[in-house]
Amino acid sequence: MTTLLLVRHGETDWNRDERFQGQADPPLNQTGRSQAVDLSVLLAADPLSAVYTSPLQRAFETAEIIAAAHGLEPSTVEALREMYDGSWEGLTRAEVEERFPHEYARWLEHRRGPGDGESYDGLCGRVVPAILEIAAAHPNGRVLAVTHAGPIRATLAHADGISYEEARKRGPAIENGSLVELAIEDGDLRRFEEDE
């Protein structure tokens, strides 16, 4: 069994301002750096086989801070990028609601977001295979991957056997600096609590 720790990157100013980030690349703010340091302290006593990260700088910086406590360097995985939010990227929720009222209403109902963005199926189709490939490279290991809310939700939806839309409905929100532990065995991905 491989243990996978999924971490959402620390806070950015865009998170604080409720801007859609998607694949835009704002850096961590001071709160985000503090969240990453807190995670590094929390995880310092747990040995890690490897640290992987989205290439976006908010995730990469979070991963670097955590990996340093283990003497590791994070490896970037393109598939761990956040979902592409198309024309919403950089806009606040209020701005999206004003400019794209129908799409925004649909998003609030836990359905697809921007029409020119990445689909939920597209997101799940790139993230889940990448997660399984990471696990397969570290049989019986303990691996950390720093990514974003969308990829974490896609992974949890797969583990729970539900759609991404249903995972959004059920919640809860995936906060900056949050940590989720999963178990992967023979290609089967499940929440770690099920093994306890």
What structural domains does the chain harbor? 2-85+119-195 (3.40.50.1240)
Place of tokens 């490939």: 133
Catalytic residue IDs: 9, 148
The helix (run of H) or strand (run of E) holding residue 43 is helix 30-43
pLDDT of residue 193: 63
Residue 110 — very low, low, confident or very high, per pLDDT cuts 50/70/90?
Answer: confident
- Beta strand pairing status for 179-185 and 188-191? antiparallel
Mean confidence (pLDDT) of the chain: 94
Compute the distance between CA of residue 119 and CA of residue 112 in angstroms, rounded to an integer.
7
Closest CA to 75 of 97, 90, 59: 59
Residue 196 — very low, low, confident or very high, per pLDDT cuts 50/70/90?
Answer: very low
Which residues are paired to 142 by β-bridges? Answer: 3
Compute the distance between CA of residue 78 and CA of residue 64 in angstroms, rounded to an integer.
16
